[in-house]
Structure 1
Amino acid sequence: MPVALEVWGDPIEHSLSPAMHTAAYALLGWEWTYGRRRVDEASFPAELASLGSEYRGLSLTMPLKHAAFAAAEKRDARATLTGAANTLVQTSAGWQAFHTDAGGIVAAWAEAGVVAAERARIVGAGATASAALVALAEMGAQQVQVAARRPDAAAALRDLGARLNLDVDAVPLDAAHLPPVDVTIATLPGGATVDESVADRLAAAGGALMDVVYGHWPTDLSRAWDRTGAPAQGGAGMLLHQAVLQIRAFASGDVDEPLPREDAVVAVMRRALVGD
């Protein structure tokens, strides 16, 4: 029976997932197809129920991550912590949910030579901030500051921090004083603007930067980091490594089980991601 996979979201035309997944399956010699489908929250339940047994799994992007979490019979630890899932795998017992964004962040930092961070800052308090917080906990963070335009929006992050045994505080994005941190993860939407003086203050005390956007590079924050000479990376590494974890889940149901020839898989997916 042919194996089918898709990425769902709304909008979805911009997704780079089909190129990466298709390149990986071709290298591995797997006769798997990976398409895309525009699905919104209202149509998600009916679309999911319509899938046949040939569908091994789905990748989910906004706005479907919470709906995917709710639809699953079983969830991995990262999904349970964040209340969101970006991967569904169909099993005989129903849908199993995974959250691979946090693992993608950890892997992208490791690739940049950063494997631990005691003090960190998250810029923004939106949906991706919870993945960033889980990633930082896995990297050994003890203190995490959230800098947000509305600090009250960080209440859920403080609650998540308590479950992760992390000290999480929130300050305005334009706070006059910012303590130094080892790393900063920016989770603002693509195209978001940040005043230059604000960006410069964040950069001066921000350590290394990961700005998780892709397709909007450079950003106001990355330009500020460039002015300080501190290292900065975009979201491509996170996107790549979370996709590798998705393929692990599709292949074995275990995101910790490496793929055959995984180094070669990562290399071919990277080339697909950058358009080579």
Structure 2
Amino acid sequence: MDGTPRGVRAAVLGWPIAHSRSPLIHTAAYRALALPWDYRAIRIGESGLRAFLEGRDASWIGFSLTMPLKEEAHRVAASLDPVAMESGVVNTLLRTGEDAGTPAWAGFNTDVAGLAHAIDRAGLDARRTIVLGAGATAVSGVLAARRLGAESVCVLARRAEAAHDLARRFDSAGAASALTAHGYGLDSVQAASAVHDATLVISTLPGPAGEALELPSGMTNVPLYDVAYDPWPSPLAQRWDAAGGTAHAGLDMLVEQAVVQVRIFTSGDPELPLPDEERVRAEMAAAAVS
């Protein structure tokens, strides 16, 4: 890491943001890498993102983005990595220089890799995945399942039209490596049918949304990966636990996507492993639960 600039700043942006554990996780990573960088949480709404980014001086190397900024960050980015381009979602911005005196930012999506890594490390079977929700994080859920070799993905949401539109974006039936994707309303006959064959449920819903959600019969028998993590167990996970099912928290996803972000901030390459990456990951994971 010799030659890496000192006095570097980065942050996680979103609204609300006080609950974020990203500062703990990233600070642990930079400490493990012997980088005296400053990483903090900053509350920014969607309408203020562009102006905020334009005002950052050269000490700011990059940003993590949480809701509701991921689609606006996609619009603001001067360039996009392939995952961000396909998903339409950016959760990481890296400063790449200036354009006519204004900072230029490259956009990345690390949610897909982070979710796929977390599901794989948990030993879950993504062959026939149900994705709950149809928002920005649901896009990453579909792409993570595809990355893990899913044969089919069924998107279920309160609004059948939103679920159908999301599934249609990524249905590659007839392609060499086909992913069959369908989208239905949660209360539909097709949703109930999909549950019978499912090997995994990925919930991309905000924590409180799962408390009173009408679920198809038998869904709690399928292992759940819930991207929610604060509080844990989430209302949805509590329902799985009460039914004798298995639920996994999204905290591991948060750590795994942060590992990829740290790669980007330190090298510009989401695929280049960090020095002694397993040790760094372990310190990040420990900080996440502290």
Give the structure-1-normalised TM-score: 0.91
Deviates more, 1:188-197 or 1:134-143: 188-197
Identity level (%): 39
* Residue pairs, 1:181-220, within 5 angstroms: 181-195=198-212, 198=215, 201-204=218-221, 206=222, 208-220=223-235
2:70 corresponding residue in structure 1? 65
The structural deviation recorded for 1:228 is 5.1
1:44 corresponding residue in structure 2? 49
Q: SS of 2:42's equivalent?
A: strand
Q: SS of 2:263's equivalent?
A: helix
The structural deviation recorded for 1:194 is 4.4
2:153 corresponding residue in structure 1? 144
1:16 corresponding residue in structure 2? 21
Distance 1:229 1:190 in 2: 20
Distance 2:9 2:235 in 1: 39
Contact persistence 1:72–1:95 (CA under 8 A): yes
1:161 partnered with 2:176:
no
Letter in 2 for 1:192: A
Query: Residues 118 and 147 (structure 1 numbering): CA distance in 2 closer, same or farther, change over 3 Å?
Result: same
2:106 corresponding residue in structure 1? 96
Distance 2:206 2:91 in 1: 17
Q: SS of 2:205's equivalent?
A: coil
The structural deviation recorded for 1:227 is 4.5
Show CA shifts across 1:14-36 (max 9, x none).
Answer: 11111111111111110111012
Q: Give the one of 116, 120, 130 matched to 2:129.
A: 120
The structural deviation recorded for 1:41 is 1.5
Distance 1:257 1:211 in 2: 27
Q: SS of 2:197's equivalent?
A: coil
Contact persistence 1:145–1:169 (CA under 8 A): yes
The structural deviation recorded for 1:220 is 4.0
Contact persistence 1:211–1:232 (CA under 8 A): yes
The structural deviation recorded for 1:52 is 1.0
Show CA shifts across 1:1-54 (max 9, x none).
Answer: 511111111111111111111111111110111012111112111110011111
Distance 2:209 2:241 in 1: 18
Distance 1:122 1:46 in 2: 34
Distance 1:132 1:193 in 2: 17
Contact persistence 1:196–1:220 (CA under 8 A): no
Pairs aligned (count) = 272
Gaps (5+ residues) in structure 1?
none
1:130 partnered with 2:143:
no
Distance 1:3 1:105 in 2: 27
Gaps (5+ residues) in structure 2?
1-5, 99-103
* Residue pairs, 1:239-254, within 5 angstroms: 239-254=254-269
Q: Give the one of 180, 185, 193 matched to 1:172.
A: 185
Distance 1:200 1:26 in 2: 47
1:221 corresponding residue in structure 2? 236
Q: SS of 1:174's equivalent?
A: coil
CA RMSD, 1 decimal: 2.0
Letter in 1 for 2:45: D
Give the structure-2-normalised TM-score: 0.87
The structural deviation recorded for 1:213 is 0.5
The structural deviation recorded for 1:236 is 0.5
Q: SS of 1:91's equivalent?
A: strand
Contact persistence 2:154–2:167 (CA under 8 A): no
Distance 2:133 2:29 in 1: 33
Distance 2:212 2:132 in 1: 13
Distance 1:196 1:166 in 2: 27
Letter in 2 for 1:244: V
